[in-house]
Amino acid sequence: MKLFHQLLVAPAALGLLAPVAANATELNINGVSDYAATGEQVTSITQFSDVYPTDWAYQALSNLIERYGCVAGYPNGTYRGNRAMTRFEAAALLNACLDRVTEVTDELKRLMKEFEKELAILKGRVDGLEARVGELEATQFSTTTKLKGQATFVLGANSFSGNAEQGAQDLAVATFTGTDLGSTVDEGEGFRNGVNGTKRARAAAATSGATSFNYDLRLFLDTSFTGKDLLRTMLRAGNFGDSAFSGGGYVGLDAMETAFEEGSGINSVGVNRLWYQFPIGDSFTATVGGLVRQDDMLAVWPSAYPADTVLDFFTYAGAPATYNLGLGQGAGISWESDDFSISANYLSTNGFLSDPNAGGFATDAAGSNGTVQIAYAPENWGLAAAYNYTSQNAGTLYAGNGTPLAVSATGDGNNSSFGLSAWWSPEEAGWIPSVSAGYGFNSITNDDSNLYRSVDTQSWYVGLQWADAFMKGNTLGMAVGQPTFVTSVDYRNDFNNNSDFVADGNYAWEWWYQFQVTDNISVTPAIYYLSRPYGDLTDGRGTVVGGDRNDSTFSNFGGLVKTTFKF
């Protein structure tokens, strides 16, 4: 028995050997010892006829008998535990138990001495095993690759209305290449291939009015080498290229986030993303990729509104030029501490080319896209501010997130963009929705003396989402905003009658309800409405200022059902 067991019982022994009315010299130690011999020693508690398992001291007596064999009873097989015990009797019992503890300790010491060599060998083996276990724990993660996927079906159609007409001015104004408003354009290149004088609603229905059934497939191969890093390879295929929902239809703003088709053609599978992310210390994360997107390198996405709903415009946090989701070759780093984060990244849309006149990394023709974001994001709300710079050939905007005038202006110059975002989510699902809002301001400059000097554009949105709406697991959502539109133009020539006024404003709405059929399948019916999706070019006949051009109407109403499978 270990030494500390003796120490535990020593205070009790001292207390029993110090009676109040007598001192140590008055004790008859022999008499105490003789007491222990008067009882009958037992080897099992069951030998006592008057001790039952329900007695409060049953377990204590059992341990003393079975472990130390130092408890004695009366000749008639009773223990008589309800009788009072004198201090001398207690001392006799304690003395007998201490003797047994000493005997056990001596036996252990003898055995340890006898098997000293064997114990030394075992100790060495245990130390070796502990070292190997420690090494395994430190390197227990093996390289693994996980496959995840998402398949989306979209069945939908569009309808168009309004009195606006097409005109020869469309292409000239949209590309800022005319020398005056009297410039003519080959009718074979009429805007959106329409015929001059044709009602826009009629032309739109003729080119984008049919019901279509499209799909998008995404496969994610996530590989980790240490358990803390991530190598992501994303494969994607789709058939949205000629669909109205691709951004390439008559109205670009009805583009969906899920719309995709590989450049090599319909149903082709291609690498859509390839990047590697790893931690640096406790606070920094680095990302580098041969095909990486801007948001892959941000510490925080500044919105609680879903990124995969209906219209693509509502997936850019209200600032499509700032959070442009540029794709190319690049790298980024982010720092996080508690709820604060700072992210900085750069990518080149033409970084895979070796010709410095056509592309390269960080060249004049690189298609540079640089972003800095500062965010504060506690558990259920957040604020973020971001700045983005894109060079002239970076393609910041496309038809799905801006008016034709804004998209054309952005593509012709260097763009400095600012985005502000805020979001909040309730702690519990109910009738109060999550709220997301964002605003973007963009300034485009051009060094070509034949074009405009500068153009300013803006955008904003507000998105609401109700979790567990009407039924647990289902979600209701809506969003409203203005896709990127031109607010002012500074021309270098007589273009626009020496005026910088434009009426490029427009509005977009979407409503949707997601049925969560199973954990992996959801069905989302949705409707949306676009007011003046052509902005200042709604009617191609009149002048930018004056006339009846700004009184013309053209709108787009659409409906669809989206089914998503996740695996």
User: pLDDT tens across 250-273, in order?
Assistant: 999 999 999 999 989 999 999 999
Least confidently predicted of 44-58, 413-427, 428-442: 44-58
Give residue 411's pLDDT band: very low, low, confident or very high (50, 70, 90): confident
Residue 155 shares a structural domain with residue 258: yes
Residue 165 shares a structural domain with residue 277: yes
Whether the predicted pLDDT of 93 surpasses 80: no
Whether the predicted pLDDT of 322 surpasses 50: yes
In a domain, 139, yes or no: no
Give residue 40's pLDDT band: very low, low, confident or very high (50, 70, 90): low
**Mean per-residue pLDDT, 246-250:** 91
pLDDT for position 266: 93
Residue 395 shares a structural domain with residue 521: yes
**Mean per-residue pLDDT, 182-187:** 33
Give residue 541's pLDDT band: very low, low, confident or very high (50, 70, 90): low
pLDDT for position 551: 75
**Mean per-residue pLDDT, 87-116:** 76
The CATH number for 178's domain is 2.40.160.10
Whether the predicted pLDDT of 19 surpasses 80: no
Query: Does the predicted model carry a pTM greater than 0.75?
Result: no
In a domain, 198, yes or no: yes
Nearest Cα to Cα of residue 410 among 400, 401, 397? 397
Burial per residue of 424-455, b for 16 or more beta-carbon CB atoms within 10 angstroms, e otherwise? ebeeebeeebbbbbbbbbbbbebeeeebbbbb
Cβ atoms within 10 Å of 49's Cβ, excluding its own: 11
pLDDT for position 190: 41
Residue 215 shares a structural domain with residue 281: yes
Q: How far is CA 257 from the centre of its chain?
A: 18
pLDDT for position 187: 34
Give residue 395's pLDDT band: very low, low, confident or very high (50, 70, 90): confident
**Mean per-residue pLDDT, 5-25:** 38
Whether the predicted pLDDT of 82 surpasses 70: yes
Nearest Cα to Cα of residue 376 among 338, 334, 333? 338
CA distance 276 to 233: 9
Average pLDDT, the chain: 83
CA distance 273 to 222: 11
User: Higher pLDDT residue, 396 or 522?
Assistant: 522
Torsional sign, CA 161, 166, 169, 174 = positive
Give residue 377's pLDDT band: very low, low, confident or very high (50, 70, 90): very high
Count of domains for the chain: 2
pLDDT for position 79: 82
Residue 101 shares a structural domain with residue 231: no
In a domain, 134, yes or no: no
CA distance 342 to 337: 9
- Cβ atoms 108, 8 nearer than 8 A: no
Give residue 544's pLDDT band: very low, low, confident or very high (50, 70, 90): very low
Whether the predicted pLDDT of 488 surpasses 80: yes
Inter-axis angle of helices 3-16 and 87-114, to 10 degrees? 160
Residue 120 shares a structural domain with residue 203: no
Residue 278 shares a structural domain with residue 415: yes
User: Higher pLDDT residue, 286 or 70?
Assistant: 286
Q: What is the share, in percent, of the chain residues with pLDDT greater than 90?
A: 52
Give the range of the structural domain holding residue 300, as residue numbers without chain letter: 144-566
Cβ atoms within 10 Å of 352's Cβ, excluding its own: 13
Whether the predicted pLDDT of 94 surpasses 80: no
**Mean per-residue pLDDT, 19-35:** 42
Least confidently predicted of 56-70, 90-104, 237-251, 425-439: 90-104
Whether the predicted pLDDT of 53 surpasses 80: yes
Q: Which of 101, 129, 157 is the last residue of a domain?
A: 129
In a domain, 95, yes or no: yes
Residue 192 shares a structural domain with residue 88: no
**Mean per-residue pLDDT, 67-90:** 79
In a domain, 135, yes or no: no
pLDDT for position 502: 74
Whether the predicted pLDDT of 421 surpasses 70: yes
Q: What is the share, in percent, of the chain residues with pLDDT greater than 70?
A: 81
**Mean per-residue pLDDT, 425-443:** 94
**Mean per-residue pLDDT, 469-480:** 96
Residue 269 shares a structural domain with residue 297: yes
In a domain, 137, yes or no: no
User: Higher pLDDT residue, 558 or 445?
Assistant: 558
